[in-house]
């Protein structure tokens, strides 16, 4: 099986040319490193964990360092991961003071009998697993401080979500053995209530992976994604015989028509087909397959380069 990895960097509104370049670099780096893991014989789970950790460490994205701030000006993060081989899954929500929530989600999957740990219990488990605690402020960027202030001032004039919350991250992969996996990680939505949990850590909404179908990672308005179970809904359409493109259009279209919810998703099928689709203004994405890297941010703006 030829390995495939696809990554996304959330929705994006009108971003400056300069920031667009940084976003493009980050997304290309994540896909390249995820692909390198697969080429070296790593599993789909290893690849999605690696790709998402790269984006969590990049302050341009709304996950890990660079997460948007809650109403108190603090970072609270959600993440999940799933192995399509046996449907094992791990998730954490409302976690603070760690660099890589996706790594904690993987430990929940592999080292506990549970699927999901939250808040204080997740923090205690992280400490037990030897994950270093970092000061919460280390995850806070100047850009996000300004954005929260602006959001609070402009609250009366509600802007569409797609211009406020940028940069949730996710990855899907297919490895040489035919296993698929997904991982998704986010700081959630700007100015959210303390304890708000979005779609990203919820299996079926923020992502899904099943070797008998494929894998999906989603981004967008979390409350809408949760209501339609966007990731599993997409794979349902694939199971029904739709192409990946049709399945993505159907599930995103349903979320839009039923709830006015916008978002985006990436899919890889068990046979190695892939797609990146969105109804938000744009979505940074990259896909690596057969030694080639495809990437884009806006519609009709796909570039292809050779991977090293």
Ligand X SMILES: CC(C)C[C@H](NC(=O)C[C@H](N)C(=O)O)C(=O)O
Closer by beta carbon to ligand X, 166 or else 288: 166
* Cβ 167 vs Cβ 66: under 8 Å: yes
Q: What's 163's DSSP letter?
A: G
Considering only residues 217 to 256 of the shown chain, the ones binding ligand X according to CB under 6 A are: 219-222, 225
Q: Does the footprint of ligand X cover residue 189 (CB under 6 A)?
A: yes
Q: What is the smallest separation between the CB atom of 70 and ligand X, expressed in angstroms?
A: 11
Size of site (CB under 6 A) for ligand X:
24
Q: Does the footprint of ligand X cover residue 284 (CB under 6 A)?
A: no
Which residue is catalytic, options 89, 112, 118, 168? 168
User: Which of 42, 59, 101, 188 is in the footprint of ligand X by CB under 6 A?
Assistant: 188
Site mask for ligand X (CB under 6 A), range 144-183, x = bound: -----------------xx--xxxx---------------
- Give the per-residue SS3 of 193-230: CCCCCCCCCCECCCEEEECCCEEEEEEECHHHHHHHCH
What is the edge-to-edge ordering of all strands in the sheet holding 292-296? 116-118, 88-95, 77-83, 180-186, 169-174, 4-8, 285-289, 292-296, 303-306
Q: Which residues line the annotated binding site for substrate? A: 196-199, 219-222
Q: What's 50's DSSP letter?
A: H
* Cβ 71 vs Cβ 118: under 8 Å: no
Q: Is 168 a catalytic residue?
A: yes
The first and second tokens of residue 176, run together, are 């040489």
- Residues designated as active site: 168
Residue ranges binding ligand X (CB under 6 A):
10-11, 62, 161-162, 165-168, 186, 188-189, 198-200, 219-222, 225, 262-264, 280
């Amino acid at each position: 099986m030829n390995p495939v990895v696809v990554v996304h960097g959330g929705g994006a509104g009108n971003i400056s040319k300069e920031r667009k370049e940084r976003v493009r670099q980050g997304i290309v780096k994540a896909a390249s490193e995820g692909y390198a893991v697969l080429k070296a014989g790593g599993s789909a789970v290893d690849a999605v964990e690696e790709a998402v950790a790269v984006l969590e460490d990049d302050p341009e994205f709304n996950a890990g360092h660079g997460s948007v701030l809650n109403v108190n000006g603090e970072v609270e993060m959600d993440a999940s991961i799933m192995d399509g081989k046996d449907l094992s899954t791990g998730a954490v929500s409302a976690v603070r003071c760690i660099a890589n929530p996706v790594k904690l989600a993987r430990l929940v999957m592999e080292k506990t009998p549970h699927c999901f740990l939250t808040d204080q219990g997740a923090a205690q488990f992280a400490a037990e697993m030897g994950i270093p605690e970092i000061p919460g402020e280390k995850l806070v960027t100047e850009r996000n401080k300004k954005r929260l202030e602006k959001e609070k001032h402009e609250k009366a004039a509600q802007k569409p979500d797609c211009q406020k919350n940028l940069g949730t991250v996710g990855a899907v992969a297919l490895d040489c053995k035919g296993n698929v996996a997904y991982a998704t990680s986010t700081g959630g939505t700007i100015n959210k209530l303390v304890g708000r949990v979005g779609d990203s850590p919820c299996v079926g909404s923020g992502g899904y992976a099943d070797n008998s179908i494929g894998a999906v990672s989603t981004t967008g308005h979390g409350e809408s994604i949760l209501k339609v179970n966007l990731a599993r809904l997409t794979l349902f359409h694939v199971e029904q015989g739709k192409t990946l493109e049709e399945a993505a259009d159907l599930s995103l279209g349903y979320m839009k028509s039923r709830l006015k919810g916008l978002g985006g998703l990436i899919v890889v099928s068990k046979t190695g087909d892939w797609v990146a689709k969105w109804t938000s203004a744009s979505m940074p994405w990259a896909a690596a397959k057969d030694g080639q890297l495809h990437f884009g941010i806006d519609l009709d703006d796909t570039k292809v380069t050779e991977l090293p």
